[in-house]
Amino acid sequence: MNNTSTKIIFFGTEDFSLSVLNGLIEADYEIVAVVTKPDSKKGRGQQYLSPAVKVLATQHNIPVWQPEKLKDIEDDIRKLAPVMGILVSFGKIIPQSTINLFTPGIINVHPSLLPKYRGPSPIESAIMNGDKTTGVSIMQLSAGMDAGPVYTTREYPLKGNETRPRLYQALATEGTTLLLEVLPRIIDGTLTAEPQDGAGATYCRLLQKEDAFLDPAVLTASEAERHVRAYAGFPKSKITLSDGQNIIITKAHTDTTAQSPLDKPFKDGLYLCIDELIAPSGRTMDAAAFLRGYTAA
């Protein structure tokens, strides 16, 4: 198949989508436009930063659309018809009127084994819940939350030491590989999507900054340790010291006894032992280095 014979509009914003877009470009698919969110202010300087997919698209001279509302680009999509859509971590619900403009629709790469973990935080949920296996699904987008029919899935075993950033990258790679394997068959119609079992669906929610705080009265030590790995990057894992200071825990393990004055017992009687943290100053350090400065202050 000549990959340049099918025009594709790519929807993506988060870093997870970068791997798929790069894979499509390297496989010589014709990306006629990339749709992403508008540039946003980030960091202490509140400077406008572009999504990573915009930067990549610009490097390859691919037009970039950043609409406030997707209805604003529907006429532009019609002008390119027939065109296929591919969506990965776009961050917005796609209205049915937009989906209907694509042939054979919009293909979505979702980082879970659907119908498990429909929603915005499937990777974090898999780590937080201590799952032994996760994976990726290639599905056809529908107006419902990750409810469309599924073309194929691929499992990814978990060892129990994954962090959010590492698992994001691993599943982005798996999703890219799987999409490139099956996309020719989706395009020529030899691979069809099968409806999901809605009765077996589970949902995950959008994480908030408030989810960062660890509550020893609510969580077991093992749950707290998974929290540290699942929420690395955002919303992080915070705990309040006896003097009221908040620290961000970046690495931890569980034990039956405390290893340092920083370690706290959780509701199961086990301790979350802090190995590495971000101090209130913003510096990352091991627990011993923090305690030397903490006790000297």
pLDDT for position 262: 92
pLDDT of 294 > 70? The answer is no
One-letter identity of residue 224:
A
Residue % of the chain over a pLDDT of 90: 86
**Residue 297 banded pLDDT, cuts 50, 70, 90:** very low
Asked whether 125 and 157 are in contact (CB, 8 A), the reply is: no
Mean pLDDT of the chain: 93
SS3 content of the chain, % helix, strand, coil (to 5): 30, 25, 40
For 294, counting Cβ atoms within 10 Å of its Cβ (0-12 exposed, 13-18 middle, 19+ buried), the class is middle
How close are the terminal C-alpha atoms of the chain, in Å?
Answer: 68
pLDDT of 296 > 80? The answer is no
CATH class of 3-200: alpha beta
Main-chain phi, psi angles of 252, to 5 degrees: -160, 165
Tell me which residue has tokens 């119908």: 115
pLDDT of 223 > 80? The answer is yes
**91-127 residues labelled b (16+ CB within 10 A) or e (exposed):** eeebeeebbebbeebbbbbbbbbbbbbbbbbbbbbbb
Tell me which residue has tokens 């529907």: 74
pLDDT for position 4: 56
Asked whether 254 and 222 are in contact (CB, 8 A), the reply is: yes
| pLDDT tens track for 37-49 | 998 877 666 788 8
pLDDT for position 288: 92
pLDDT for position 166: 97
* Out of 39-53, 64-78, 125-139, 200-214, least confident range: 39-53
Q: Cα(244)–Cα(273) distance, rounded to whole angstroms?
A: 19
pLDDT (average), residues 242-253: 92
Domain boundaries, the chain: 3-200, 209-296
CATH class of 209-296: alpha beta
pLDDT for position 1: 44
Tell me if the bond preceding 184 is cis, omega within 30° of 0: no
pLDDT for position 242: 80
Angle, CA 191 vertex, CA 185 and CA 194 arms, to 5°: 150
pLDDT (average), residues 212-240: 97
What ranges in the chain are assigned the alpha helix state H? Answer: 16-26, 52-59, 74-80, 96-99, 122-128, 164-188, 221-230, 287-296
| pLDDT tens track for 160-201 | 999 999 999 999 999 999 999 999 999 999 999 999 998 989
Residue 177's SS3 state is: helix
Give 297 or 277, the one with higher predicted confidence.
277
Residue 213's SS3 state is: strand
Tokens coding 28? 């010589």
Tokens coding 5? 């014979």
